[in-house]
Amino acid sequence: MSSQQVRAAPGTEGYAEDATWLIPRYDSISFEDKYRAVSHLMPTAPSSVLDIGAGTGSDSVWLAARGHKVMAIEPVTEFRNAGIQRHFPLQIDWIDDSLPDLVKVARCLESFDLVLVAAVWHHLTPDDRIVAMSNIARLLKNGAILIMSIRHGPSPANRRVFEVSADETIDLAISYGLKKMLETQTASAQQINQKAGVTWTWLAFANERFIPAEYINNQCNCAESHCRDHLFIGHIGSTKRHRLWPGSRLLQARP
Could you give all domains of the chain from N- to C-terminal order, each with its CATH number?
A: 3-210 (3.40.50.150), 213-255 (no CATH)
Query: Average pLDDT for residues 6-17, to the nearest whole number?
Result: 72
pLDDT at 27: 79
pLDDT at 109: 93
Q: Evaluate if residue 228 carries a pLDDT over 70.
A: no
* Strands 48-52 vs 69-73: parallel, antiparallel or unpaired: parallel
Query: Average pLDDT for residues 239-248, to the nearest whole number?
Result: 45
* 156 and 143 Cβ atoms separated by less than 8 Å: no
Query: Average pLDDT for residues 54-62, to the nearest whole number?
Result: 94
Q: What is the pTM of this model?
A: 0.77
**pLDDT averaged over every residue in the chain:** 80
Read off the pLDDT of residues 144-184 as tens digits, 9 standing for 90 and up. 999 999 999 877 777 888 999 999 999 999 999 999 999 99
Determine which helix (DSSP H) or strand (DSSP E) holds 126, and give its type and residue range: helix 126-138
Calculate the CA dihedral of residues 14, 77, 100, 90 and round it to 10 degrees: -130
Q: Evaluate if residue 4 carries a pLDDT over 90.
A: no
Angle (CA) 18 20 21, round 5°: 75
